[in-house]
Chains A and B, each alone.
Chain A
Amino acid sequence: MRNIKLKNLKKSIRGQAILPNVDLMIPGGKFFALLGPSGCGKTTLLRLIAGLETADSGMIYLGDDDITRKPINERPINIVFQNYALFPHLNVFENIAYSLRLKKIPKEVIIQKVFKILEAFHLEAHIYKLPSQLSGGQQQRVALARAIIDEPDVLLLDEPLAALDFKLREKMLLELIDWQDKLETTFIYVTHDQFEALTVADQMAIMNHHGEIEQIGTPKEIYEFPHTSFVARFVGSTNIWHGKLRELDTEPEIEVPDLGNFKVYTPKKKEWMKEGHDIVMSIRPEKIFISKSEAQNFSNQIKGVVQSIVYYGRSTQYNVLLENKEKVQVFEQNEEHFPHEDIDYDDEVYLYWQKENAVLLEK
């Protein structure tokens, strides 16, 4: 399957620069996710790839083909719209068969192909129904079937699960992964929901509010090793500490005002890591341990008072107030039915973590 290369793509709408400069390589045959806050420009980027919009400048390549100026109906790229865009006056069969009918493929071949896909999607019972007679999940599957039946190179999905409820969404995500695996088509999945992105992606890109791509990598790379504070904050939750870098060459530490010094881990020295300069440290809540008794053998430890507790079933979230008036979030998995330690409101607690579990970011 062919790669997609976006080179210096720029797009403004009504004078506002939505995408200032996108330079991205999307590997062929993989499940790629584009994650970003609402209104950041990710849908615009998708529409540029589909051909629904034309870029102001820049190039789009599908493999070696320059498709920048190719009209939408000539691109072997299909899109699954957020609102599904099922043709309300055509039944399920005709919706799915649409692209085949346009190519004037003989009727028998069409019937055969459509029935095969209907079977795969478990839609046999609904063949002659109109979209209005289908449930959300069924409509979604029809939209997907319609987009893949003519075997496009790339499938674009614009927040396809936004309208579904939680359980259904989980189910559909797994089905999508399955499909991508089977078809080996490149899937480009656009969403603002990080859970969806992390679940499906082989590779993902994070886009910020200004249409700039902050980081590209596997879900694990992005989650565990964010490159910027935006990525650290947007994907999952995190605790951010500002301070100065000390003792860079010997035992690196971050000096946080009114709180103290904490040991940090710097396996790769970046150019912005300079002695005495401002840096940012990010620690994910699940990487922090909480206890009423002091801990031994941990690089970093601080004291605080529990402000609020939120019970999530699988985990419990503690919001702890530190001595310097900052708040810290801590997640603990509820591993035991009868936890050995009962932490309650207003309890004095110790928070501790390993220095390797924090990430240093540029200010």
Chain B
Amino acid sequence: MKKQASALPFAIGIPALIWQVLFFYVPLVLIIISSFVKLSSAGKIESFTFEHIQLFLNATYLKVIASSLLLALSNAILCFCIAFPLAYLIAFRGRLHRNLFLFLLIVPFWTNFLLHVYAWFYVLENQGFINNILMKLGMIHAPLQMLNSTGAIMVMMVYYYLPFMVLPLYTSLERFNYTLLEASYDLGGSFFATFRRILLPLSGRGIKAGFFLVFIPSFGEFAIPELMGGDKKMFVGTVVSQYILGEGTGSLGAAFTLISGVFLILSTIALYIVLTKLLQPRMYRG
């Protein structure tokens, strides 16, 4: 049955596309362009230049990008190590209380982000919960410095991103055909062999989804390092915001965003390839 789309449906459908293009792609393109332009004091375009880009292609800034990549990767891996067993247990062993577990997982997920930051503040701060208790118990005499460290950042990152990893894994495992695992055990497989040969490869989609949902945003993460890490820690997000919000350094911010963006894309592709290779079963093909 051939349906011809007349003018009215088109008019109704097109705003979505226009909106997306206008407020998503145009700004992105602008950012890319502004990396290459030099603005006069009046804000008009003077010339096209590579000097902004060149400014950032040195060790200091590349280190910032590298540490952001490292942070994102470790966050993803840590989240995975906790999330996968958790998702497995909820999906396969927790059938009865499944909804309760998921409910408990989603509630923090759907509570204001800043509140979580504040909660950890409250617990870790110099005059916060842990220090207060320890001091009152006489176990320490001066407050432990827990905030403003990479440790605090990592804890907060895992805390915030864990549900992002658990949910796609859970969705994938929930649909998993359990008889496949039974067949593997029946044919003589140990728990570990079944995990490696059957469970892991067949959860590939969920695993990749989880990794990307954590890796990509973690890279550009700005709030957590800013609030938990103090001034000593420099990551892509904090650097970009410094430049963008600063006076007249807009183009610099744009340029750095562009460069980090490129690195992000490259590492995402690399991550995808690595994950695919790791999850692929080894097969005899003749």
Are A and B close enough to touch in the complex, i.e. CB under 8 Å?
Answer: yes
Q: Which residue numbers of A lie inside 8 Å of B, CB to CB?
A: 50-52, 71-74, 77-79, 81, 83, 85, 87-91, 93-94, 97-99, 102-103, 107, 111, 127-128, 146-147, 150
Q: Answer yes or no: B179 CB below 8 A from chain A CBs.
A: yes
Which residue from A73, A81, A89 sits with its C-beta under 8 Å from B179? Answer: A81
Chain A residue contacts of B180, Cβ below 8 A: 85, 87-88
Name the residue of chain B whose CB is nearest to the CB of A88.
B202
Q: Answer yes or no: B151 CB below 8 A from chain A CBs.
A: no
Chain B residue contacts of A52, Cβ below 8 A: 182, 185-186
Chain A residue contacts of B177, Cβ below 8 A: 83, 85
Tell me the minimal C-beta distance from B197 to chain A in angstroms: 8
Chain B residue contacts of A150, Cβ below 8 A: 187-188
Number of inter-chain CB pairs below 8 Å: 75
Tell me the minimal C-beta distance from B64 to chain A in angstroms: 40
Is A90 a contact of B183 with CB atoms below 8 Å? no
Which residue from A73, A88, A91 sits with its C-beta under 8 Å from B186? Answer: A73
Tell me the minimal C-beta distance from A14 to chain B in angstroms: 10
Q: Answer yes or no: B201 CB below 8 A from chain A CBs.
A: yes
How far apart sit A73 and B286, CA to CA, in the bound complex (Å)? 29
Tell me the minimal C-beta distance from B284 to chain A in angstroms: 5
Is B185 a contact of A128 with CB atoms below 8 Å? no
How far apart sit A93 and B284, CA to CA, in the bound complex (Å)? 7
Q: Answer yes or no: B198 CB below 8 A from chain A CBs.
A: yes
6 A-B pairs with the lowest CB-CB distances in the bound complex, closest first: A85-B183, A99-B187, A85-B179, A102-B188, A72-B185, A73-B185
Tell me the minimal C-beta distance from B248 to chain A in angstroms: 55
Tell me the minimal C-beta distance from A111 to chain B in angstroms: 7
Given contacts A85-B179, A87-B198, contact A97 B284 (CB under 8 A): yes
How far apart sit A331 and B180, CA to CA, in the bound complex (Å)? 45
Given contacts A81-B179, A127-B286, contact A90 B281 (CB under 8 A): yes
Chain A residue contacts of B94, Cβ below 8 A: none
Given contacts A52-B182, A81-B183, contact A99 B198 (CB under 8 A): no
Q: Answer yes or no: B184 CB below 8 A from chain A CBs.
A: yes
Q: Answer yes or no: B1 CB below 8 A from chain A CBs.
A: no
Given contacts A73-B188, A78-B187, A102-B187, contact A89 B284 (CB under 8 A): no
